[in-house]
Amino acid sequence: MAATKDEFFNPIKLSARDKAAATDHTARSIISAEASQREKKTEKLRQLRLEREAAEPAPAPARAKGRKAPADH
């Protein structure tokens, strides 16, 4: 059985507009999926951070350092 070019290539030519629409659709779906994954990850990390902060005791406020008087020469 001999392979022909029709088996590997689509004999119907797509217009430039159709190619651009297909590319646009694919790119938008990829971007949307990545944004969704990023939002899920952000929410998960935020929840973990809030749980960790709730488990830790509140840090004591830092003491204000007093200014030293300038040394007289």
Range of 37's domain? 15-55
Q: For 7-37, what is each residue's pLDDT tens digit?
A: 777 677 889 999 999 999 999 999 999 999 9
CA distance 47 to 40: 11
- The answer to whether residue 1 scores a pLDDT higher than 60 is no
Q: Give domain status of residue 49, yes or no.
A: yes
Band of the pLDDT at 50, cuts 50, 70, 90?
very high
Q: Give domain status of residue 63, yes or no.
A: no
Q: Give domain status of residue 70, yes or no.
A: no
CA distance 38 to 49: 16
Q: Give domain status of residue 36, yes or no.
A: yes
Q: Give domain status of residue 42, yes or no.
A: yes
CA distance 20 to 5: 24
Q: For 62-73, what is each residue's pLDDT tens digit?
A: 777 777 767 766
CA distance 73 to 25: 76
